């Protein structure tokens, strides 16, 4: 029998939302039940820290977040912002992409560059595989979340930031339930004591998860939580 986790870390887009990025309100209720039961919930996303701060306040968590695909994390609303990623490396790679696709008459659309400190995100209007090919030789990961394409340093992932957060919280990574849907969640799920992928996950996620839910998106998150926290069922 699995040990009941002491904390939860979860992806946002595709895990707490539907396919249109609308928050699943039942998933929000589930998070509030966890928080009210004294179980910390950490949001881990490719989004910016300002976006996640607003969501944490509205959902009701304590503000502990992993942002920009592990490039930045913070413990609590008043905690220090720890930048793990190398924004200059990512910007250099993006400049190369702008020239590469510009020669083909394609303009790339950056997402919130003024609010990003550790990675680069841009519109998913080009083939992610072509992006990877164009950046061969750059020390960056190309992350396709299904909602945007991100450039992040090869040494950085949600999993690396998760380890820092767990240490700062004083909770072992094996005492966490991790839930996600995309390949940028793989390291996070592998690191946690229990890693569950929601049913809409990418194919390469299935081997990284301990199991996959029957339900998709936010309903899958609820299923994952209820499967390991019997008192919330």
pLDDT tens digits, residue range 136-189? Answer: 999 999 999 888 999 999 999 999 999 999 999 999 999 999 999 998 999 999
215 near 223, Cβ under 8 Å? Answer: yes
Residues 165 and 218 in one domain: yes
Residues 77 and 169 in one domain: yes
Q: Which of 11, 119, 144, 185 is catalytic?
A: 11
pLDDT of 1: 52
Backbone angles phi, psi at 120, to 5 degrees: -120, 135
Is the pTM for the entire model greater than 0.75?
yes
- 37 and 138 fall within a common domain: no
Shared domain for 12 and 71, answered yes or no, is: yes
Q: Do 178 and 220 lie in a common domain?
A: yes
Which residues, at least 6 apart from 117, have a Cβ–Cβ distance to it below 8 Å? 49, 68, 71, 72, 81, 83, 85, 87
Containing structural domain, residue 119: 87-153
* Surface-to-core class of residue 98, CB atoms within 10 Å of its CB (0-12 exposed, 13-18 middle, 19+ buried): middle
Regarding whether 225 and 165 lie in a shared domain, the answer is: yes
Edge-first strand listing for the sheet containing 149-153: 120-122, 149-153, 140-144
Q: Nearest 5°: phi and psi at 129?
A: -70, -35
The answer to whether residue 167 is domain-embedded is: yes
Q: Does residue 11 have an active-site annotation?
A: yes
């Amino acid at each position: 029998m699995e040990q009941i986790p002491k904390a939860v870390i979860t992806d946002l887009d595709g895990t707490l939302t539907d396919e249109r990025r609308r928050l699943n309100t039942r998933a929000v209720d589930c998070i509030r039940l966890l928080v009210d039961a004294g179980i910390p919930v950490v949001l881990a996303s490719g989004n910016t820290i300002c976006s996640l701060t607003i969501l944490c306040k509205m959902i009701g968590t304590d503000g502990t977040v992993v942002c920009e695909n592990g490039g930045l994390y913070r413990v609590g609303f008043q905690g220090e912002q720890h930048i793990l990623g190398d924004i200059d490396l990512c910007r250099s790679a993006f400049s190369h992409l702008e020239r590469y696709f510009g020669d083909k008459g394609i303009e790339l659309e950056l997402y919130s560059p003024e609010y990003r400190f550790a990675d680069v995100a841009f519109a998913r209007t080009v083939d992610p595989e072509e992006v990877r090919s164009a950046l061969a030789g750059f020390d960056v990961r190309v992350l396709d979340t299904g909602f945007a394409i991100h450039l992040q340093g090869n040494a950085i992932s949600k999993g690396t930031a998760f380890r820092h957060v767990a240490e700062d919280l004083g909770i072992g990574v094996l005492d966490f339930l991790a839930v996600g849907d995309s390949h940028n969640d793989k390291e996070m799920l592998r690191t946690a004591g229990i890693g569950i992928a929601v049913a809409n996950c990418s194919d390469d996620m299935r081997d990284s998860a301990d199991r996959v839910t029957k339900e998709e998106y936010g309903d899958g998150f609820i299923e994952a939580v209820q499967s390991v926290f019997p008192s919330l069922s």
